[in-house]
């Protein structure tokens, strides 16, 4: 679904990622894991086409991202930004309807089918009752769920999410993650997301991509990459792992000082 | 709204230091249409209506330019003058006045100044307008560049005002406040306005995307870089055209888009026609007031816009919060 070839990302003089040749296929759910500033968001922005990589290529559905017409590409992949700044008083409904833009940029108004899809997405995120609210009056968690609802309404096979669990309470973290896992399993979508909660990530991910922040990276199935020693190395803090009811729980080790 | 706009034009035609009774209007309009304005009423309406048409085009252009600037900078406090296009025009116009140029030369100099500043800004900020690397900082860089250029022009204006001879000071100040007296009815501002309207209607959806999602609108299929360049150039053109024919009339470009947002919501597909119509109508009303309030003396319309607009706006704002 999405692949990179010999990708290099830099920030200023620092090399964040080097020689990344990687691919994610339909039905896979990837977590990108790394320390702050390791280039996770930079990588995701590059994958979304918001930023040109320093070197290398990115292909979506077998075609270089730069060769896709933007509008068609917007029907292939959706992107959830890490943060939002709402300057104008759009309603929740407006903001979700905007995700239908790539389907009819030539029409002046949206159709009733768009409203239908927007309502379904809002209901999936349990925010249907907020439809008429001004986006600027929502709480952080509500705003995040509305943003994810917009992502769903875009109906793309590839979803790129920068910290989807941000600002969500425990129960909504779980329901959002379960929803993403279902999208992968049942609808064969591809999910690539960034998250800081290892336990949450391990619960739903099939694969993980670890970034060191100095160019090094490691990618593979969760069983191989989400090992305490490896994760501890990439995150800069030693970890313990407990098996509990078939699940792996990661716990940071206490500093023995 | 369209009907209201036409009504204001008619009202402007009837009102003045010599009133035209409503009964005379159809006859006068008929004479105008046939091309032989014989009666006094017809002549008056002819004079006033052409001035009202100038006011309408100016007000509509300023309101639309303000709306575009607010969407471009994603800042509801932006107005058409924020990037210094009008300051550039002021420098040009005042310089021409200082050199005792003719009215036509003053207009040309104003246009030159506005276009010059717009081009300078465009060259400086071209990279920030493009999507991608600049991320969220792009609009902020453009804004800062504009404010600095504007400040530079402002100092030039102050300099010229301080060395100007007494006799010319009054007309210079009037120009800067914005004055429709003696502004000739030209076709060009209307062509610019209609052209800009077409561009805006075509980009209305994309403007919503930009206002909602900023850079991330790219992932929804909006060509953000091209849209920003378009918005910048078209709003600069609108501002230049408005300022050239009427001077730097304040307030319209900031408040009319805001008032429309309160009344109709933030959807640009509604806001664009609404802003043009209400901006035009508002300036026609203000100008009518400006030339009747202390008739036969005429005030510059720029002195009136804020005087009427501010209380109306404050009332609306206050009512909304309750």
Specify the pLDDT at position A192.
Answer: 95
CB contact under 8 A, A74 and B220: yes
Q: Which of chain A's residues have a Cβ under 8 Å away from the Cβ of B143?
A: none
Q: Which of chain A's residues have a Cβ under 8 Å away from the Cβ of B223?
A: 70
* Same-domain pairing of A103 and A45: no
* Same-domain pairing of A178 and A231: yes
* Same-domain pairing of A100 and A225: no
* Same-domain pairing of A151 and A161: no
The whole model's pTM is what? 0.86
Output A246 or B62, whichever has higher pLDDT: B62
Share of chain B above pLDDT 70, in %: 85
**B75 vs A: CB within 8 A:** yes
Instruction: Supply the angle between the helices B137-163 and B166-177 in degrees, to the nearest 10.
Output: 160
Give the model's confidence band at B247: pLDDT under 50 very low, under 70 low, under 90 confident, else very high. Answer: confident
B127 to chain A, closest Cα gap in Å: 14
* Same-domain pairing of A205 and A236: yes
Question: What digits encode the pLDDT tens for the residues B121-149?
Answer: 888 877 766 654 444 555 677 788 888 88
* pLDDT, average across residues B165-183: 81
**B212 vs A: CB within 8 A:** yes
Adjacent-strand bridge partners of A130: none
Specify the pLDDT at position B135.
Answer: 47
From the centroid of its chain, how far is CA B224? 25
* Same-domain pairing of A91 and A69: no
B75 to chain A, closest Cα gap in Å: 6
Specify the pLDDT at position B110.
Answer: 87
Interface A–B counts its CB contacts (< 8 A) at: 85
Residue A111 lies in a domain: yes
Residue A228 lies in a domain: yes
* Same-domain pairing of A110 and A128: yes
- Count the domains in chain B: 1
β-pairing, A217-221 vs A207-211, is: antiparallel
Query: What distance in Å separates the CA atoms of residue A220 and residue B119, rounded to the nearest whole number?
Result: 51
Residue A81 lies in a domain: no
**B219 vs A: CB within 8 A:** yes
Give the model's confidence band at B93: pLDDT under 50 very low, under 70 low, under 90 confident, else very high. Answer: confident
Question: Could you check whether the bond before residue B67 is cis, i.e. omega within 30 degrees of 0?
Answer: no
Give the model's confidence band at B214: pLDDT under 50 very low, under 70 low, under 90 confident, else very high. Answer: confident
Specify the pLDDT at position A160.
Answer: 94
**Which one of B136, B221, B261 has the shortest CB-CB distance to A101?**
B221
- Reading chain A (257 residues) residue by residue, the pLDDT tens digits are 899 999 999 988 899 999 999 999 999 999 999 999 999 999 999 999 888 899 999 999 989 988 999 889 999 999 998 888 888 889 999 999 999 988 876 778 888 888 999 999 999 998 999 999 999 899 999 999 999 999 999 999 999 999 998 889 999 999 999 999 999 999 999 999 998 899 988 988 999 999 998 999 999 998 889 999 999 999 999 998 888 887 888 999 887 65
CB contact under 8 A, A98 and B133: no
Query: What distance in Å separates the CA atoms of residue B282 and residue B250, rounded to the nearest whole number?
Result: 12
Q: Which of chain B's residues have a Cβ under 8 Å away from the Cβ of A110?
A: none
Output B237 or B39, whichever has higher pLDDT: B237
- Count the domains in chain A: 2
Q: Which of chain B's residues have a Cβ under 8 Å away from the Cβ of A154?
A: 220
Do A254 and A248 contact (CB within 8 A), yes or no? Answer: no
**B74 vs A: CB within 8 A:** yes
* DSSP-derived 3-state class of residue B151: helix
Residue A257 lies in a domain: no
Q: How much is the ipTM here?
A: 0.84
* Same-domain pairing of A102 and A124: yes
The DSSP code for A135 is G
* Same-domain pairing of A227 and A165: yes
| Probe site for chain A from B130, B139, B216, B221 (most A CB atoms < 10 A) | B221
* Same-domain pairing of A239 and A162: yes
* Same-domain pairing of A59 and A177: yes
Question: What digits encode the pLDDT tens for the residues A70-114?
Answer: 889 999 999 998 888 888 889 999 999 999 988 876 778 888 888
Query: What distance in Å separates the CA atoms of residue B71 and residue A207, rounded to the nearest whole number?
Result: 40
Domain containing residue A64: CATH number:
3.40.50.300
Adjacent-strand bridge partners of A58: A4
Q: Which residues contact A171 (CB under 8 A, 6 or more apart)?
A: none
Last residue in a domain, options A155, A180, A206: A155
* Same-domain pairing of A102 and A38: no
Transcribe B188-223 into DSSP letters.
HHHHHHHHHHHHHHHHHHHHHHHHHHGGGGGGGT--
CB contact under 8 A, B265 and A89: yes
Distance in angstroms between the alpha carbons of the first and the last residue of chain A: 47
Strands (E), A81-172: 158-162
Q: Which of chain B's residues have a Cβ under 8 Å away from the Cβ of A87?
A: 74-76, 211
For residue B209, what are the domain limits? 2-321
Domain containing residue B292: CATH number:
1.10.3470.10
For residue A220, what are the domain limits? 2-76+157-252
Give the model's confidence band at B290: pLDDT under 50 very low, under 70 low, under 90 confident, else very high. Answer: confident
Question: What digits encode the pLDDT tens for the residues B260-288?
Answer: 888 888 999 999 999 999 999 999 888 88
């Amino acid at each position: 679904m999405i692949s990179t070839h010999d990708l290099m990302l830099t920030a200023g003089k620092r090399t964040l990622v080097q020689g990344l040749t990687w691919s994610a296929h339909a039905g896979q759910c990837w977590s990108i894991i790394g320390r702050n500033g390791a280039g996770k968001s930079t990588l995701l922005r590059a994958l979304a086409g918001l930023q040109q990589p320093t070197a290398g290529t990115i292909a979506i559905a077998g075609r270089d991202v730069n060769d896709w017409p933007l509008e068609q590409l917007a029907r292939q992949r959706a992107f959830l930004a890490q943060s939002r700044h709402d300057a104008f008083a759009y309603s929740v409904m407006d903001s979700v309807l905007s995700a239908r833009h790539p389907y009819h940029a030539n029409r002046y108004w949206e159709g009733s089918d768009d409203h239908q899809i927007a309502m379904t997405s809002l209901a999936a995120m349990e925010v249907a009752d907020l439809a008429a609210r001004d986006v600027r009056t929502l709480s952080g968690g509500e705003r995040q769920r509305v943003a994810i609802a917009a992502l769903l309404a875009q109906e793309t096979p590839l979803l790129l999410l920068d910290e989807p669990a941000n600002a969500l309470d425990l129960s909504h973290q779980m329901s959002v993650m379960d929803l993403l896992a279902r999208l992968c399993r049942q609808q064969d979508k591809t999910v690539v997301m960034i998250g800081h909660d290892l336990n949450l990530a391990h619960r739903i991910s099939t694969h993980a991509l670890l970034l060191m922040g100095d160019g090094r990276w490691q990618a593979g199935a969760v069983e191989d990459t989400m090992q305490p020693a490896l994760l501890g190395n990439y995150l800069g803090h030693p970890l313990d792992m407990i098996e509990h009811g078939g699940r792996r729980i990661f716990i940071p080790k206490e500093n023995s000082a | 709204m369209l009907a209201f706009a036409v009504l204001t034009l008619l009202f402007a035609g009837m009102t003045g230091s010599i009133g035209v009774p409503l009964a005379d209007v159809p006859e006068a309009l008929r004479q105008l249409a046939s091309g032989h304005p014989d009666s006094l009423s017809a002549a008056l309406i002819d004079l006033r209506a052409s001035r009202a048409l100038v006011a309408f085009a100016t007000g509509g252009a300023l309101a639309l330019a303000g709306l575009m600037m607010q969407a471009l900078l994603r800042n509801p406090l932006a107005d058409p003058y924020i990037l210094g296009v009008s300051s550039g025009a002021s420098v040009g116009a005042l310089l021409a006045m200082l050199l005792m140029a003719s009215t036509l030369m003053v207009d040309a100099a104003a246009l030159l100044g506005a276009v010059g500043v717009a081009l300078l800004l465009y060259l400086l900020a071209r990279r920030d307008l493009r999507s991608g690397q600049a991320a969220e900082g792009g609009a902020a860089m453009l804004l800062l560049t504009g404010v600095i250029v504007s400040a530079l022009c402002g100092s030039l204006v102050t300099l010229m005002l301080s060395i100007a001879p007494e006799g010319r000071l009054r007309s210079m100040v009037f120009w800067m406040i914005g004055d429709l007296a003696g502004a000739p009815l030209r076709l060009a501002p209307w062509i610019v306005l209609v052209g800009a309207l077409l561009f805006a209607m075509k980009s209305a959806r994309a403007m919503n995307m930009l206002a909602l999602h900023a850079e991330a609108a790219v992932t929804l299929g909006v060509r953000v870089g091209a849209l920003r360049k378009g918005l910048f150039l078209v709003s600069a053109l609108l501002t230049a055209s408005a300022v050239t024919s009427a001077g730097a009339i304040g307030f319209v470009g900031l408040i009319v888009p805001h008032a429309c947002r309160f009344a109709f919501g933030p959807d640009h597909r509604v806001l664009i026609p609404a802003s043009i119509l209400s901006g035009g109508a508002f300036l026609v009303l203000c100008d009518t007031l400006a030339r009747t309030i202390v008739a036969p003396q005429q005030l510059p319309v720029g002195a009136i816009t804020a005087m009427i607009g501010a209380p109306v706006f404050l009332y609306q704002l206050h009512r909304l919060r309750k």
